[in-house]
Structure 1
Amino acid sequence: MAALRSPQQPSSAPRRLGMDFSGCYEDSVSVVAAAARGGYRRQLRRLIRQGRRIHRADNRGWRALHEAAAAGRVGCLKEILSAAAMSAGSSATFQAYVNSSTHEGESACYLAAGRGHLNAVRLLLRASANIDQLTNDRSSPLYAAVSDGHKDVVQLLLAKGAEVNRSHTASCWTCLHQAVYQDHVDIVRILVRTADLEPRDDYKITPLFLAAQYGRRECLEVLVDAGANVNTQASDLASPLLLASQEGHLACVDFLLEHGADANLACSGDWPQLPIHAAAQFGHLGVLRRLVAVTDRACDRGEDAVSPLYLAVHGCQVASVELLLDEGFSPDGQDCTALVCQHSPLSLALERGYSEAAGMLLTAGAAVLEMEWEPVFARDDADMLKLLLDHRWLYPPRLSGDEAGRRSKTALKMEEFDDMLSVALDHLKFAASWLPLLLKAGLEPESLLDCSVCVQADGELVNFLLQFDNWSTMAPYLRAILCQRRAEETWRPLPQFDSVPDLSHLCRLRVRTVIGPDVVMRKGVVQRLPVPPRLRDFLQFNDIEMPDV
């Protein structure tokens, strides 16, 4: 609305109550409309008798009729309607004025209803106002009264025959949708007596969905008691139980389950998503615990299913991961590459760098196969490898009663170990990140010194690996490869490689063989060996520096 300007006033214009109604605002409300808005009935009557026009609209399309209705000025409204009836040449002309709209398409009845002015609405209906007249955005007087919670106006409009099931707004909501959304429980109780309980908006969402999604527990009860379907589904197959679970409304989840909601109803066309998946993804532990008890465990390992652990990891919900594992869900889930492009919950956690979730899965015994190793070695970051080595021995522990038992740390299976080496060798360019960790964890250098490494690896990396081994006993075919590289000047050996290793190096290799390479590399073990302190670092190869490869 434009700013009010000082009205032009003739010198003879009388003043009443400190206001001047003799002129018109040039680009805004007329003096007649201003009097109607303020409720100055006698001044309004005088202005009308002076011939002031009640039909004049301001820059919003508002007339005196709209001002009086919006402000609930029933006395002024009566004066305006009486004047309109006297000046109209026919009943059609009078009704056209009563139902005239602002630029937004708002009728006087709509404005009065939306503001809860019961008597004004009643007066306008007596004057044959269109009870179902729509605004530009397809709202109606009933919808406006419902939206703002005016129970008495709603009752009046329904008693006078207002259409209760009409679709309003761009999203096609009905009055029942809006009443539930606004949590006007008393109005919902009124509407369910006559309204369709299953109207659908443009996404096929019924009012029950809104009650579940927004936690309108009382509205939910009213709708269900009236007969609304608790297992209705939207266009994307979502159910009310899924939405309540997603939003964490435990009271609504409990109510829906108690009244027949199906926790195993597939809620997606892409993959069989269940409410438990939504609760796990968003970390709603109370809801998740409730759904675990009623969800078919086929979702855990079954084919063409997705374990809730995937969603818990995807949402970085560590507490959800912990709860599901405690409830017996498999840490491996099932291979869901075809459904959600993930091989296992652990591979997802490692790929995203979610160390806490990955640690829980590893502690629970998750398998570490080729797809799990891929994100560990395919980056210039050793944090995930450190995590894995904190939970897995490279080889079965050789000492009884060591820290393996205290930490429930298990050894890699043969298949897991082979997959690790295969993936590591495919990512030699990141060896500076992962190789020192593997060697400190006790990896046998011979495991890496194969043809591909001797042919492809950087010369410094080859030299580094050879220092952990007895280079004089290298396999002839590997020696031949290195001799060729030396001739081609793609590898320059360290000086000591041209002679037999010294006795100290051979001795530490023998100690590693006897005790076990992974055992020697553990500080707690080497500290207990009966050797001088200076030899302990030597036994752990701390004299060998990692090259910058």
Structure 2
Amino acid sequence: MSSLLKSLHKGKADASTPPTRMRNDSTSGIGLEDPGAVDLEHALFTNAYKAITQGQPQLLSMFIKKHPHIVTITGPVKSEPVAMVDRDTGKQVVQPGAVHQMTLLDCAVKQGSLDMSMAVLEAMSGGRDFLTCISKKYDEKMSAVHLAVRQDMVSVVEKIVAIAKEGGLGDGEISEIFVSFMDGGGDDLAFVCCASGSIHCLKYLVNNLQFDVNRVSPSGATCLHVAAARSTVPVTELLLEAGGKVDALDNDKLTPFFLAARYNNIPVMSALEKAGAAIDSPALNGAEPIYAATQQGHVQAIELLLELNASPDSIGCGMAPLHVASMMGHPSAVKVLLEKGANVNLQGGDAKNTPAHCAAQTGNVGCLQALIEGGADIKMCGSTGATPLHLASFFGKKAAAEALLASGALPDAKDENGKTPFDFSEEGYRVGGSGPDGKKIGKLLKKACGEEPGKKKKKKDKKEKKEKEDKKKPEPAKKSNLSRME
């Protein structure tokens, strides 16, 4: 028997001994690799991996018992292909699965199998070296520890801590090492818990490993920011009980409540408000939570904010919620804001545009109709004298122009430079701002002004032709006064 095989049976692998081959101990049922056809370590890893993926805990335990060292080596594992939508073409494409170098613990935890994970961990030992080994990220993003936490496998986390203690590490050392475990994005284990709603693991990290829930990430976010955007009320309440700062600010001055509004997390919004969160704390750009909810068209969040007395006319960032809803194309949000008393003709920004200007510019006819029904003055001008029809004409929004004209917009209105909507349509077509409907809008506006395309020119040509014919005709002889007297 070779020196490597002897060392394997003793549970120790001599890294200086080159891979060898061994006879095929065939195991029926799961299509195992033939160790005689490939190098030994690859075959051992592949067969153990197949036992994991096909749910054979007894077979996995047999492999590990016979070759304990395989729990520390890595092997190639191909991920499943991923279907994605190409942003440019809009077509669905399939990304081929990538090949990762993973440990058996990575594989077992990723599979979500507690039995398999425990079978692997039972064969592992050590203190700091053990924790370093299992914390290695197989795809530069996640380690086995991160995967266990993400799936709320608290028994796996507890087992890892127990092994580390058996290896001679104290509670403080273990806590320090666990806190240092970061994923590929720089987030610690508590952040992963909050993002995935893993409340049991989060409770263990906070109560047993002294995780600081107010630790700040590179983006300035705390655990509460993550929970507000992506988690549940129990996770949020646990963080608050652990001393989480309800109005903590990230680098963009966003509070957890702001993020809950942005992501329409209604239960968490309510929990944070009850805990004393400010409902109108502005971001770095001056936008308030109601702005964030409106930008996404989250009607439920808007309604809750208005019930909590948020201002429907907040204009801290230069635009009110009604401007934003009209520009982004959220007619339901427009209607809710109007029902709750938003000023339909409020002017915002340096351009002093109304919500109707915003809807006309972006061609959101549903929003425009809702504004008109809500009493919008479609003849109002911005700072340069342009009306909503001017903007619809420049940007080639034919349906919006038609809706405005049908509601009484003036087709011959002039801005401060004396330009009409028709002039705007011509300019938009010339610079490429109006798109394919640019010329159509020009014809529409001429017709609205009583100048149907072609008719004016035909009338002029007919008049000139008649004048020429009249010149060619001889003048009739004039009767003298004498003949008249006779």
TM superposition score normalised by structure 2: 0.67
Q: Which residue of 2 aligns with 1:10?
A: 23
Give me the whole-angstrom Cα distance separating, in 1, the residues matched to 2:395 and 2:334.
23
> 1:273 Cα deviation (Å)?
1.0
Give me the whole-angstrom Cα distance separating, in 2, the residues matched to 1:113 and 1:15.
34
> 1:113 Cα deviation (Å)?
1.4
Give me the whole-angstrom Cα distance separating, in 2, the residues matched to 1:501 and 1:255.
86
> 1:71 Cα deviation (Å)?
4.4
User: Structure 1 residues 236, 118: CA separation in 2 closer, same or farther (over 3 Å shift)?
Assistant: same
> 1:306 Cα deviation (Å)?
1.7
Residue aligned with 1:26, SS: helix
| Mapping 1:21-60, distance limit 5 Å | 23=35, 24=40, 26=42, 29=45, 38=55, 40=57, 44=61, 47-48=64-65, 52-59=69-76, 60=100
> 1:223 Cα deviation (Å)?
2.4
The counterpart of 1:106, out of the listed 142, 153, 177, is 142
The answer to whether residue 186 in structure 2 is matched with residue 138 in structure 1 is yes
Q: Which residue of 2 aligns with 1:436?
A: 455
Give me the whole-angstrom Cα distance separating, in 2, the residues matched to 1:352 and 1:501.
56
Query: Quick one: which amino acid aligns to residue 158 of structure 1?
Result: V
The answer to whether residue 162 in structure 2 is matched with residue 126 in structure 1 is yes
The answer to whether residue 157 in structure 2 is matched with residue 157 in structure 1 is no
The counterpart of 1:233, out of the listed 268, 271, 282, is 282
User: Structure 1 residues 124, 171: CA separation in 2 closer, same or farther (over 3 Å shift)?
Assistant: same
Give me the whole-angstrom Cα distance separating, in 1, the residues matched to 2:457 and 2:289.
50
The answer to whether residue 338 in structure 2 is matched with residue 322 in structure 1 is no
Q: Which residue of 2 aligns with 1:447?
A: none
> 1:245 Cα deviation (Å)?
1.8
Note the alpha carbon deviations across 1:319-376, whole angstroms, 9 max, x for none.
4333333433322222333xxxx72212122334444533444443536223224246
CA contact (8 A) 2:32 2:50 kept: no
> 1:173 Cα deviation (Å)?
5.2
CA contact (8 A) 2:247 2:277 kept: yes
Give me the whole-angstrom Cα distance separating, in 1, the residues matched to 2:224 and 2:109.
25
Residue aligned with 1:299, SS: coil
- Which is worse superposed, 377-386 or 232-241? 377-386
- Stretches of structure 2 that go unaligned for 5 or more consecutive residues are 1-19, 77-99, 165-173, 431-437, 477-486
The answer to whether residue 325 in structure 2 is matched with residue 279 in structure 1 is yes
Give me the whole-angstrom Cα distance separating, in 1, the residues matched to 2:108 and 2:59.
14
User: Structure 1 residues 371, 183: CA separation in 2 closer, same or farther (over 3 Å shift)?
Assistant: farther
CA contact (8 A) 1:35 1:44 kept: no
User: Structure 1 residues 313, 143: CA separation in 2 closer, same or farther (over 3 Å shift)?
Assistant: same
> 1:185 Cα deviation (Å)?
4.0
User: Structure 1 residues 351, 35: CA separation in 2 closer, same or farther (over 3 Å shift)?
Assistant: closer
- Stretches of structure 1 that go unaligned for 5 or more consecutive residues are 1-6, 395-432, 441-460, 472-493, 503-549
Note the alpha carbon deviations across 1:74-133, whole angstroms, 9 max, x for none.
566556555443xx5xx4434434544435253332221122322112211333464331
> 1:8 Cα deviation (Å)?
6.0
Residue aligned with 1:220, SS: helix
Q: Which residue of 2 aligns with 1:519?
A: none
CA contact (8 A) 1:321 1:357 kept: yes
Q: Which residue of 2 aligns with 1:350?
A: 393
Q: Which residue of 1 aligns with 2:104?
A: 64
Q: Which residue of 1 aligns with 2:355?
A: 308
User: Structure 1 residues 14, 163: CA separation in 2 closer, same or farther (over 3 Å shift)?
Assistant: farther
Q: Which residue of 2 aligns with 1:526?
A: none
Note the alpha carbon deviations across 1:18-44, whole angstroms, 9 max, x for none.
676995452893656666675635763
Residue aligned with 2:282, SS: coil
CA contact (8 A) 1:165 1:174 kept: yes
User: Structure 1 residues 109, 434: CA separation in 2 closer, same or farther (over 3 Å shift)?
Assistant: same
Residue aligned with 2:102, SS: coil
Note the alpha carbon deviations across 1:378-401, whole angstroms, 9 max, x for none.
77987556645665569xxxxxxx
Give me the whole-angstrom Cα distance separating, in 1, the residues matched to 2:271 and 2:379.
43
> 1:277 Cα deviation (Å)?
0.5
The counterpart of 1:216, out of the listed 255, 258, 265, is 265
Q: Which residue of 1 aligns with 2:92?
A: none
Give me the whole-angstrom Cα distance separating, in 2, the residues matched to 1:360 and 1:18.
67
Which is greater in Rg? 1
TM superposition score normalised by structure 1: 0.60
Give me the whole-angstrom Cα distance separating, in 2, the residues matched to 1:47 and 1:98.
17
Residue aligned with 2:75, SS: coil
CA contact (8 A) 1:106 1:135 kept: yes
User: Structure 1 residues 82, 119: CA separation in 2 closer, same or farther (over 3 Å shift)?
Assistant: closer
User: Structure 1 residues 229, 106: CA separation in 2 closer, same or farther (over 3 Å shift)?
Assistant: same
Residue aligned with 2:292, SS: helix
Query: Quick one: which amino acid aligns to residue 56 of structure 1?
Result: I
Q: How large is the RMSD of aligned CA atoms in angstroms?
A: 4.2
User: Structure 1 residues 498, 336: CA separation in 2 closer, same or farther (over 3 Å shift)?
Assistant: farther
User: Structure 1 residues 51, 352: CA separation in 2 closer, same or farther (over 3 Å shift)?
Assistant: closer
Q: Which residue of 1 aligns with 2:464?
A: 466
CA contact (8 A) 1:349 1:357 kept: yes
> 1:218 Cα deviation (Å)?
2.1
The answer to whether residue 342 in structure 2 is matched with residue 295 in structure 1 is yes
